[in-house]
Structure formats: C-alpha cells, structure tokens
Chains A and B, each alone.
Chain A
C-alpha cells in the first residue's frame, strides 16, 4: 500500500507539488504565526516591565500606612548589598518618590519628585524612550531636574529655567532649587503632568537621606522577557535574604492592572489563532479534496478491476498521508529556518512607532515551543486526512460503473 501510494505521489508530480505545497505553506505560516505570537506576548511583557522592573522591593509597612515615612526603606544600601550578594546578575534601579509642591517663576502645582539611580543600560533606555527635549539630570546631580512635558507646560517653564521644589515635613532640606535640563514624554498624560525626575542623590538630599521608596529588580535574560517561573524563583530568593522588613513583589503583584492587560491577550490570541487555523485548514481541505475528486474516475477503474472499497479508501488515505508528511516536513524545514533566522531579533523598518502605539517593542524575538510544533503537525495531518475522508468515502461507495463515468 505504501509503495502504491508513494508511486502515485511520485508520478502525479503536479498534484503532489500543489497539495504538499499547500500543506507546507500552512505549516510555515502556522509556525511563523506561533513564533510571532510568542514574540508579541513576551515583547509586550518586556515593554510592560522595562521601566517598572520584574520585581519590586518596598517597605513592608507601605501597604498599611500610606504616609511618606512609612514608605521609606531607610537602610537602602544594606538592602541593596544583600540583594546583590544573592542575585549578582540582576540590575537595580533605586527609586525615591517624594510628594512635593513644584513651582516655576509664576505657577506651581503638586507633583511627584522621583529620584532615580540605575546602571547605564537602564538609564540609557529610559532616556531613549522618554526624553523629548534636553537630557536627564546627571547622576549624582543635586541641582538638575527633568519634567514631564505636560507639567512643564503647566508651570510655564522651559529648558534652562529655574524650578523650585518644596517637600515640607520630610527629613531632608525640604526645599531645593533646580535647573530644568530635560522635558519628558510619557504615554500616560496622568504621569506626565506630575512627574519630575532628579538624581537619587538629589531626591535624598531633599527628603530622605540614604533612603529609597522602592528598589526595582530587572532580570536580564539575553533576549525577550523572563518567564514568570524565573520571576517567581527570583522573588523567593530575594525575600529569603531580605527578611520581613521589606516586601518583595513580582511585577504582576505590584501592577495587577498591567498583568491583567497582558493576560487579556491570551484569549485574543486564541481567537485569532482559531481564525488563522480555519483559514489554513480551508486551504488544505480545498487542495486535497479537489486533488482527489478529479481522480474519482480512476478510483472507479481500480474498483472495477477488483479492488474493494476499503482498499481504495486505504489507498486514498495513505496517499494523502504521504502528501501531508512531505508537505509538513518541507513546511517544518522552511518555517523552522525562518523562525530561527528571526530568533535573534526581527525588526520591521519604519514600524517602530506603530508598534510602540500598541505597546509592543520595536524588536521581536520569534520562537516556537515543541508543543507548538506538535500542534502544527497534528493540525496539518488531521486537516488533510479529514479532507481526504469525503472523497475517499465517495470513491469507496460509488458503484464502479458510476465512478468510471464520473466527470470532475
């Protein structure tokens, strides 16, 4: 039966190329689709966590008492050192957020002064994504400030203008004057209208020497976003060394809205995948079905000279299976090559801003899991065999005389 099927597959070259090609196209398309779904999901997670980090260390008292003092991790240097001993490969951003009154020459409003210190890579990334005009305050600077563009407009200040900050009731100077060195652009206007960035040291001098309100832990996989499992494992390690005075949370715990947004993509992608599979299935069904219907007359001859209907059905099924296996193998090869070639980063020139609008990174890292490959192969084979079922059944049920008169 296999020999007969293989011979027919080999001899009907055009049909074989068309049918196997259709299966191969579907397999390639599905693999690439899976690759980009994975890349999109991890990319969105990466965008969501690129600024906030994957884990947050905050004061254990911050959740119960919302005053500024309760939110402080006072011995930040000790906490940071303990953290880096346990997790030497992570990158840290130290943040001190100070509620304050901020003024220009003529206007003032409530704002959040955010002092940050981080390694160069995190700083450069932040600057690349948010600095619209000028620059960020220099690390360690005590007299430079960058404002959200909306806040700067509200205060009617421009680059080079003095900006005054009042943080009464804190443990620092409580007031300071800065020079505006940069204007920042954020997607959320609510953040842009209240954000004022200074160096960590500047913020500590202003309000809480030696303290931070948050340590952000950025895991640094080679590409894409770290898995939830890695984040959870890191959380457990951090919590174990830092003790009960601080609270370690994953980004999903500290930003449930963001996590929900990402999780919402799962059903969306599932529905999208369903339609992709339906369309791909129709292509396979159509190709296999038509390839067999036009041979019903031939099947009639085979039945007439002595093959029983089950034998014809087996032959049709075996042939279809051979076609699908050939197409699937070709599709896996080509699709695998494509995904592998894009695995180090796929960028669509000119689409960076469009992707950013949808919360996606400019560079995607497609990859497929063994499970996705198995689903693709099972789908291709299942669909093609289902497509072969009807013509095989028809051919098997036909009286040979009718089949030999059949005109496709």
Chain B
C-alpha cells in the first residue's frame, strides 16, 4: 500500500523582521490510508506547521510534500486550492466556522464551493451532522453552539465533502477534557467505520491513548514514531 501523505526532508523556517525561526527541520513522515495518527509534542514543536504543509495551506522552505502520488509542494496556488477542496478535510483549533451560516450551511460549505446542487449538499451535510450527533442543531448559528458543538460542526464540514484525508490541528485544544475526548472517540469511530485517514495534532497526553499511531515532534524534528495498541 502506498502512503496517502508523505513528507520528505521537510523544513520550514519563518522569518520575521530578519529573525529566522526554524519550525521544521528535515521531517520525514509517511501516513498510510486509513490510519488514525496523532502528531504530539509541546507547543512550538512544529505540529501545526507540519499539518499546514501537508494540507497545502503553506509552502515549505525545503523538502517535499506528497498527497498520494502527487507532489504538492511545487503546485501553483490554484491547483493547491483545488486539492484542498476535493481531497483534504480540515478541522481547525479555533473551529473557524463562518459566523453567519447555520451549522448545516457550514457543514455544506465545502460542497457549495464545489458547486454541488443544493439538495445533494444538504443531504450530505445533514448526514455528516447526524453522524456527529448534532443533527438537531442543524439550523443554529455558531454563536448559538457550545465549543464542543462548534468543533463537531467543523468536523462535519470536513467529513461532508468525503475527503481522502482529514487534517485536524489541535481539534480539542479549546474544549474541556471530557468534550475533547468525546470528539476524538467520534473521529476514531468515523475512521474505523468509513476508513477515513485522520492526522491530528495534540499536546494532550490523555488523547494519545485513543490513537493507533503517535508521531512525536520536538524542535521541528521527529523524535519518535510509535504504533500503539488502540488502533
């Protein structure tokens, strides 16, 4: 089986006012289809940067990123946007829902960008909300939802578009531990039932008990890559 995500000697250096801050320093990583993988490490270890580069949200300073058999780090912005639209689902730490849209509209938003007919995107988005147990909140706006509910909507937005891979950047960081754990279990269930590949970052050690693989980062380098029993 070929990896669905691949990083080869991946490096990223941020420059701000002449100060160079290395975020990733030669990371090699392969994620296989259907894996439920956590990228763990302390703040500033490069977790978010790695997810952003693998998700075509940012450009590396050096190295390669691959999505399936396609090298993505050299693509033009429009093609990278198209890949994000059709192949990758994102869940962000701060939810990043669109405030004026309802939960259902947020969940259907990626499908709307793809130009899918209203009925089809409505059905898919509603199915995603149902899968996440928040179908009854479909017509509420983000400011009428709790943090956990908003993050579920964000996951529904990522899942409704049926991507090949979901990248989640600290999806539980703004949630209490109980809600965070419930969200991870939900994501894991979707991973097992639908075979969706999940790669998410976290610095919460309690969540790591529920994943199949843990990639540990420190100072922008992979210091451990463990397969654990929960998978």
Q: Is the CB of B100 within 8 A of A11?
A: yes
Residue of A nearest to B78 (CB): A308
- The proximity string for A residues 302-324 relative to B, scoring 1 for CB distances below 8 Å and 0 otherwise, is 11111111110000000000000
Is the CB of B110 closer than 8 A to any CB of chain A? yes
- Within 8 Å by CB of B96, from A7, A8, A304, A306, lies A304
Assess A305 versus B90: contact at CB under 8 Å? Given A12-B100, A399-B58, A400-B57. Answer: yes
Q: Is the CB of A307 within 8 A of B90?
A: no
A308 contacts across to B, CB distance below 8 A: 77-78, 81-82
Taking CB atoms and an 8 Å cut-off, the chain A residues in 276-316 that contact chain B are 297-298, 301-311
Q: Is the CB of A305 within 8 A of B77?
A: no
Is the CB of B113 closer than 8 A to any CB of chain A? yes
Q: Is the CB of B113 within 8 A of A8?
A: no
B81 contacts across to A, CB distance below 8 A: 303, 306-309
Taking CB atoms and an 8 Å cut-off, the chain B residues in 166-189 that contact chain A are none
Assess A304 versus B112: contact at CB under 8 Å? Given A11-B101, A298-B98, A399-B58. Answer: no
- Within 8 Å by CB of A401, from B58, B94, B101, lies B58
Q: Is the CB of B99 within 8 A of A309?
A: no
Q: Is the CB of B157 within 8 A of A305?
A: yes
- Within 8 Å by CB of A309, from B77, B96, B109, lies B77
- The proximity string for B residues 36-66 relative to A, scoring 1 for CB distances below 8 Å and 0 otherwise, is 0000000000000000100001110000000
User: How far is the CB of B55 from the nearest CB of chain A, in Å?
Assistant: 8
Is the CB of A138 closer than 8 A to any CB of chain B? no
Is the CB of A271 closer than 8 A to any CB of chain B? no
Is the CB of A132 closer than 8 A to any CB of chain B? no
Residue of B nearest to A310 (CB): B78
Q: Is the CB of A404 within 8 A of B92?
A: yes
User: How far is the CB of B117 from the nearest CB of chain A, in Å?
Assistant: 12
Q: Is the CB of B90 within 8 A of A304?
A: yes
Q: Is the CB of B99 within 8 A of A298?
A: yes
- The proximity string for B residues 69-99 relative to A, scoring 1 for CB distances below 8 Å and 0 otherwise, is 0000000011001101110001010101111
Residue of B nearest to A11 (CB): B100
Is the CB of A354 closer than 8 A to any CB of chain B? no
- Within 8 Å by CB of B85, from A7, A12, A305, A404, lies A305
Is the CB of A4 closer than 8 A to any CB of chain B? yes
A302 to B84, CA, bound (A): 11
A109 to B60, CA, bound (A): 100
Q: Is the CB of A304 within 8 A of B100?
A: no
User: How far is the CB of A338 from the nearest CB of chain B, in Å?
Assistant: 33
A108 to B150, CA, bound (A): 100
A400 to B51, CA, bound (A): 13
Q: Is the CB of A401 within 8 A of B96?
A: no
Q: Is the CB of B82 within 8 A of A306?
A: yes
A399 to B77, CA, bound (A): 10
Q: Is the CB of B85 within 8 A of A306?
A: yes
A304 contacts across to B, CB distance below 8 A: 57, 84, 90, 92, 96
User: How far is the CB of A224 from the nearest CB of chain B, in Å?
Assistant: 49
User: How far is the CB of B17 from the nearest CB of chain A, in Å?
Assistant: 15
User: How far is the CB of A163 from the nearest CB of chain B, in Å?
Assistant: 84
User: How far is the CB of A334 from the nearest CB of chain B, in Å?
Assistant: 27
User: How far is the CB of A323 from the nearest CB of chain B, in Å?
Assistant: 14
User: How far is the CB of A405 from the nearest CB of chain B, in Å?
Assistant: 9
Most chain B CB atoms below 10 A, which of A8, A305, A307, A310: A305
User: How far is the CB of B74 from the nearest CB of chain A, in Å?
Assistant: 16
A304 to B58, CA, bound (A): 10
- Within 8 Å by CB of A305, from B59, B78, B94, B109, lies B109
User: How far is the CB of A37 from the nearest CB of chain B, in Å?
Assistant: 41
Most chain B CB atoms below 10 A, which of A306, A309, A401: A306
B59 contacts across to A, CB distance below 8 A: 399
User: How far is the CB of A383 from the nearest CB of chain B, in Å?
Assistant: 25
Q: Is the CB of B77 within 8 A of A301?
A: no
B58 contacts across to A, CB distance below 8 A: 399-401
B157 contacts across to A, CB distance below 8 A: 305
Assess A305 versus B57: contact at CB under 8 Å? Given A8-B100, A401-B52, A404-B96. Answer: no
Most chain A CB atoms below 10 A, which of B81, B110, B112, B157: B81
- The proximity string for A residues 1-37 relative to B, scoring 1 for CB distances below 8 Å and 0 otherwise, is 0001001100110000000000000000000000000
A301 contacts across to B, CB distance below 8 A: 92, 96-98
A401 contacts across to B, CB distance below 8 A: 52, 57-58
Assess A306 versus B84: contact at CB under 8 Å? Given A4-B112, A401-B58, A404-B92. Answer: yes
> Can you pick out 29 interface pairs between chain A and chain B where the beta carbons lie within 8 Å of each other?
A4-B112, A8-B100, A11-B101, A297-B96, A298-B98, A301-B96, A301-B98, A302-B109, A302-B113, A303-B81, A304-B90, A304-B92, A305-B85, A305-B109, A305-B110, A306-B85, A306-B86, A306-B113, A307-B81, A307-B85, A307-B113, A308-B81, A308-B82, A309-B77, A309-B78, A399-B58, A400-B58, A401-B57, A404-B96
- The interface of chain B, by Cβ under 8 A from chain A, is 52, 57-59, 77-78, 81-82, 84-86, 90, 92, 94, 96-101, 109-110, 112-114, 157
| New A-B pairs, 16, CB < 8 Å, besides A11-B100, A301-B97, A304-B90 | A4-B112, A11-B101, A297-B96, A298-B99, A305-B84, A305-B110, A305-B157, A306-B82, A306-B114, A307-B85, A308-B77, A309-B77, A311-B113, A399-B58, A399-B59, A401-B57
